[in-house]
Amino acid sequence: MATPPATPPPAPPVAAPPVAAPPAAVAVEAKPPTATETMPATRPEVLPPIDVGAWTRVGGIFQNGTDHSKMNDWHMNNAYVELHTGGRIHKKVGVTLNLNANMLAFGGAPATASAGAQIGSTVAVEDAIISFDLLDEFHVWAGHLLVMVDRDNSSGPFFMIPWNYPGFFGAAVGAPAEGPAGRNNGVNVWGDISGGKVTYFAGVYDNANVGSSPLFSGRLRLALLDPETGFWGNGSYFGDKDIFSIDVGGQLQKHGSTTMAGDKDYADINADALFEKKIPGGGWFTADAAFYHYNVNDGGVSNFYYVMAAYATPTMGVGNLQPMVRYQGETIKANTGTNPWNLDVALAYLIKGPALRLNATYSYAKLGAGATANSIQLSAQAIFF
C-alpha cells in the first residue's frame, strides 16, 4: 500500500505592527491661588435685585353727597395707588422708596365729609427709609416712615380686612398722632426676639417741624401662636398663619395738643388683640379688637374702640368668600348726647388673598344730634409684587 503524503507544515504567523509609545506627559506647574480666591471676605458680594411693586385700590359709593342718610346717588371715592421700590446696598443696609398718588378723597368717613369731594391728584413720598439691619433683634430705620404705635397703622389699608381705612371716624379723631398716610420723619429702633415671638418698636418723630417738640411713639407685640416678624404689619394673614397676638402701644408729645387750652401735652395708650385660626378645608376665622385712650385730643375724643369678626370660606370657584362685621365707637368729652358709633357689614371675594380682592360694604353710622349716615361701597384691590 502506498504511503500517504505528509501534511505540509503551517505557515508562520504574521507579526502585528509595533504600537507607538504614548507621548510623554508635559509637566504643568500648578498655578498658586490668588489672594481673592483664598480670602472669601474680599469676594464680590452678590446682593438681591431691586424689588418693584405697584399697589392700587379703586371704589365707588352709593350715598347722597349732601344728605348722607340717603343712598340715592353714586360717585367714585377711591382711586389710590402706591409704587414700591427697595433693595440692598450692603447685606446689612437697605433702601426703601415708596410713592403714593391719591386721585380722589380717600374715603374713610363718608358721613363727616362729602365722600366724593374731588380733591385733585396728589402725589407724595410715602416712605424714604435707610435701614440698618444689624441683627434680627436690633434694627435702626431712619427717614420718612411709619409711626409705629398700633396694628392698624402698621398694616395699612391693603393688609386689613375692613375696607374703610383708617376707619369711619378718620385719623383726626380715631387714631393716634400720625402724619400723612400714617408716616412721619423720624428714627425707629426695632427688633424680633425669640424668632418673632416678641417684637418691640421705639421711635422718635418730628415731621421736620423745628417749632414743635418731638413725638415719642412705641409698640410691643407678643405672638402666642405663630410668630409675627418684621417691621411691616398685618391686620390679617389671610389663612397663611395661626395667630394670637397681643399689642400695646403709646405716644407722648410735649405741648402736642396745640389747639387745647393751656397748650397741653399729648399722650395716648392703646391695646389690640388679633386672633386668626385656619379651619380644616381651607377656610379661616379672624377676630380683632382694639381700645385707644387719649388724655387730650384735638377732636374731643377721649376713647376710641372697635371689634371685628370675619370668616373666610374654603375655596369657592377661584377664591374665598369672606363676610365681615365691624363695630366702632367713640367717647367724646363733655358730650350731652349719644356718642357716635358705626357698623360695617361687608362681603369680600379673595381671589389671591390681599393681592386681588373684591369688596362690598354696607355702612351705617349714628352721629351726634340724631344724625345718621348710610352708604354702600363697591371696591377692588390689586397688588403686583
DSSP 284-318: EEEEEEEEEEESS-TT-EEEEEEEEEEEEPSPBTT
What 3-state class would DSSP assign to 252?
strand
- List beta partners, residue 106: none
Residue 87 one-letter amino acid: G
Evaluate whether residue 246 is within a structural domain: yes
Which pLDDT belongs to residue 251?
A: 94
Helix, strand, coil percentages, rounded to 5, for the chain:
10, 50, 40
Evaluate whether residue 42 is within a structural domain: no
Evaluate whether residue 9 is within a structural domain: no
One pLDDT digit (tens) per residue for the chain, 385 residues: 454 554 455 555 545 555 555 555 555 565 665 555 545 555 667 888 889 999 999 999 999 988 889 999 998 888 999 999 999 999 999 999 999 998 875 444 443 333 334 456 789 999 999 999 999 999 999 999 999 999 999 999 999 999 988 777 664 455 688 888 899 999 999 999 999 999 999 999 986 677 778 999 999 999 999 999 999 999 999 999 999 999 999 999 988 775 555 578 888 999 999 999 999 999 999 999 999 998 865 557 788 899 999 999 999 999 999 999 999 998 887 665 678 899 999 999 999 999 999 999 999 999 877 789 999 999 999 999 7
Q: Which structural domain, as residue segments, surrounds residue 130?
A: 49-384
Which pLDDT belongs to residue 23?
A: 56
- Tally of domains in the chain: 1
Q: Is the peptide bond before 166 cis (omega within 30 degrees of 0)?
A: yes
CB 383 within 8 A of CB 355: yes
Phi, psi of 210 (to 5 degrees): -75, -10
Which pLDDT belongs to residue 13?
A: 53
Which pLDDT belongs to residue 78?
A: 85
C-alpha 205: how far from its chain's center? Answer: 20
Evaluate whether residue 31 is within a structural domain: no
Pick from 338, 263, 343: which is nearest to 298 by CA?
263
Q: How many CB atoms lie within 10 A of CB 30?
A: 5
Angle at CA of residue 279, ends 273 and 285, nearest 5° = 35
Evaluate whether residue 18 is within a structural domain: no
Evaluate whether residue 324 is within a structural domain: yes
The cell numbers describing 185, all together, are: 420723619
Evaluate whether residue 39 is within a structural domain: no
CATH classification at residue 295:
2.40.160.10
Dist. CA 210–CA 189, nearest whole Å: 22
Task: Give the containing element (helix H, strand E) for 36.
Answer: helix 35-38
Which pLDDT belongs to residue 113?
A: 37
Which pLDDT belongs to residue 116?
A: 37
Which pLDDT belongs to residue 371?
A: 87
Which pLDDT belongs to residue 107?
A: 41
Evaluate whether residue 3 is within a structural domain: no
- List beta partners, residue 51: 86
C-alpha 47: how far from its chain's center? Answer: 23
